[in-house]
Amino acid sequence: MRLFAVVREPIDPRALELAVRTDACGGVVTFLGVVRERADDGRSVTGLSYEAHEEMAVAEFAAIAGEVEARHAEVRLGILHRIGELRVGEIAVAVCAAAPHRADAFEACRYAIDQLKSRAPIWKKEQYTDGTGEWVENECRSI
Amino acid sequence: MTVRVRAFARMRELLGDGEFDLIVPDGATLVDCWEALRARNRKIDALASATRIARNGRVAALLSERVDDGDEIALLPPVGGG
């Protein structure tokens, strides 16, 4: 399985963990971003529509992993992001970091999801129960 | 010459298509491409300052950069992944 990918099918976090970890890793931290039922302003959400510049997004995932490895050579990272129409409760993104010890795994996982949200060319539109929808922007770092 | 435009999110909606060919003069820059896109819908002006432009998968530092026939020009509005 690819460690950095944009996918259309449901994400299997356990499969990602198995692909990322090696026997040198004593700590595995997985972050899952899941579609929730309410927008930040309280409106009811039926689902999210995601789209991506897939090649650039995968390249960005690999670049983020390179930055992590530059700081912690023993950390391994996997990042999967789903696109298409997702319903409440479905996994949109999985970031898995594995390391010999937990501190590096937690730090790498947090770094990777924060960087993904600010840099990866991926977009989401919230779909509301009244039939309308709006594009939602993350806090963005310019690159 | 012809460049391939890929547009995403609000930019895709304003331009009416996520992927299409755009004809620009030989020697055109990214600024010229933007001007040609404005001819499709001037409402993209509202997104101009927030949108990054990537040429062949790399975000362009300068819009004075020239494009070549067959280039991919991607219009990247503020992102919302995760």
Per residue in A81-101, pLDDT (tens digit) is 999 999 999 999 999 999 999
The residues, ordered by sequence, that sit 6+ positions from B12 with a Cβ below 8 Å of its Cβ are: A51, B18
What's the confidence (pLDDT) of residue A143?
45
CATH number of the domain at B53, please.
Answer: 3.10.20.30
Q: Is the pLDDT of residue B82 over 60?
A: yes
**Closest CA of chain A from B36, distance in Å:** 22
What's the confidence (pLDDT) of residue A1?
86
Q: pTM for the full model?
A: 0.95
Domain carrying residue B42? 2-76
Do the beta carbons of residue B5 and residue B30 sit within 8 Å? no
Q: Is the pLDDT of residue A141 over 70?
A: no
Give me the domains of chain A, ranges plus CATH numbers. Answer: 4-128 (3.90.1170.40)
Residues B54, A53: C-beta atoms closer than 8 Å: yes
| Nearest Cα residue to A54 out of A83, A11, A33 | A83
Instruction: Give just the sign of the alpha carbon dihedral A7, A27, A33, A13.
Output: positive
The residue assigned the tokens 């460690």 is A3
**Closest CA of chain A from B37, distance in Å:** 19
A139 pLDDT tier (thresholds 50, 70, 90): confident
Mutate to test the interface with B, among A34, A53, A82, A118 (most CBs of B within 10 A): A53
Which value does ipTM take for this structure?
0.95
**Structural domains in chain B (count):** 1
- Burial class, A57, CB count within 10 angstroms (exposed 0-12 / middle 13-18 / buried 19+): buried
Residue B69 lies in a domain: yes
Do the beta carbons of residue A83 and residue A50 sit within 8 Å? yes
| Nearest Cα residue to A61 out of A32, A33, A95, A18 | A95
The residues, ordered by sequence, that sit 6+ positions from A32 with a Cβ below 8 Å of its Cβ are: A11, A13, A91, A93, A94
Residue B49 lies in a domain: yes
